[in-house]
């Protein structure tokens, strides 16, 4: 059996959607979807939630996650880096359970549209390709080679990325992807010793757009709610 820790990081001070991690979404708190997906994957002995909120901790426990520590104020601030938060949860878990995990899979609580198969298939791809870590993304709607532009301090507008030859169709541009903040996977030594998710041997698992919405704004929330209702009606 794979020795994998699952972490779900959910702080209480969300700005875009107030209390979004426990806000009811189609009949359940948002974080419940991710906990249930982690359990259904049957990959994990332990599913650990990192939070600074007693309310989030209580709800996470109700749905079967383990919450044995409270995240520090420093790591719950707006300026705290996600990688630091995940590493903190990993190190605390190894100490608490008195064991070393071979792998870490972090599932973002704000990406409830992922499927259980996405979790399983991403991990299988990660292992098959011998990656050090893995991120998930969807095909980007806009290409930095074709219709993403920047503007310098003098007001000059230019394409974000250029090629040696001019392209006239978006389809001819190199493939690009939008990270969807859904699934992150690391080997143990990699999460403990690196401060970037972009490494020489980073894997990419591509998901469709309809399973890739990350809830940051009230509009995202409405999109996800609509998609869930549509899926339930099928």
Spell out the domains of the chain, with CATH numbers in brackets: 4-136+179-233 (3.90.550.10), 141-175 (no CATH)
For residues 202 and 215, give the distance between their C-alpha atoms in angstroms, rounded to a whole number.
25
Kindly tell me if the per-residue pLDDT of 15 is higher than 80.
Answer: no
- The secondary structure of 71-90 as a DSSP string is --TGGGSTT--HHHHHHHHH
Kindly tell me if the per-residue pLDDT of 152 is higher than 90.
Answer: yes
pLDDT of residue 182: 98
Please count the residues of the chain: 234
Mean pLDDT throughout 137-162?
90
For residue 159, what pLDDT band results from cuts at 50, 70 and 90? confident
Mean pLDDT throughout 173-181?
91
Mean pLDDT throughout 53-82?
92
Neighbours of 67 (CB within 10 A): 21
Tens of pLDDT, residues 119-146: 999 999 999 999 999 999 999 988 888 8
Tens of pLDDT, residues 75-112: 888 777 899 999 999 999 999 999 999 999 999 999 99
Percent of the chain with pLDDT over 90: 78
pLDDT of residue 43: 97
pTM for the whole thing?
Answer: 0.93
Q: Tell me which residue has tokens 């991690």.
A: 21
- Pairing relation of β-strands 177-187 and 103-107? antiparallel
Task: Spell out the residues 6+ positions from residue 183 whose beta carbon is closer than 8 angstroms to its own.
Answer: 105, 106, 107, 108, 111, 114, 118, 119, 122, 134, 135, 136, 205
Give the distance, in angstroms, between the CA of residue 73 and the centroid of all CA atoms in the same chain: 22
């Amino acid at each position: 059996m794979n020795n994998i820790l699952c972490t779900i990081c959910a702080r209480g001070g969300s700005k875009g959607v107030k209390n979004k991690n426990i806000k009811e979404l189609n009949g359940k708190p948002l974080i419940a979807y991710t906990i249930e997906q982690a359990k259904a994957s049957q990959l994990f002995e332990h599913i650990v939630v990192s939070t600074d909120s007693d309310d989030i901790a209580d709800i996470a426990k109700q749905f079967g996650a383990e919450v044995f520590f409270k995240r520090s104020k420093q790591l719950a601030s707006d300026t705290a880096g996600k990688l630091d938060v995940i590493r903190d949860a990993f190190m605390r878990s190894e100490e608490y359970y008195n064991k070393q995990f071979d792998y870490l899979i972090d599932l973002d609580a704000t990406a409830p549209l992922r499927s259980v198969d996405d979790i399983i298939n991403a991990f299988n791809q990660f292992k098959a390709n011998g990656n050090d870590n893995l991120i998930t993304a969807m095909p980007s709607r806009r290409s930095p080679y074709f219709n993403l532009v920047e503007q310098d301090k003098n007001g000059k507008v230019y394409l974000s990325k250029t090629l040696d030859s001019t392209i006239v169709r978006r389809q001819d541009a190199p493939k690009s992807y939008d990270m969807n903040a859904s699934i992150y996977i690391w080997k143990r030594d990699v999460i403990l010793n690196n401060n970037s998710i972009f490494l020489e041997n980073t894997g990419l698992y591509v998901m469709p757009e309809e399973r890739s919405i990350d809830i940051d704004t009230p509009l995202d929330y409405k999109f996800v709610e609509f998609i869930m209702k549509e899926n339930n009606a099928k």
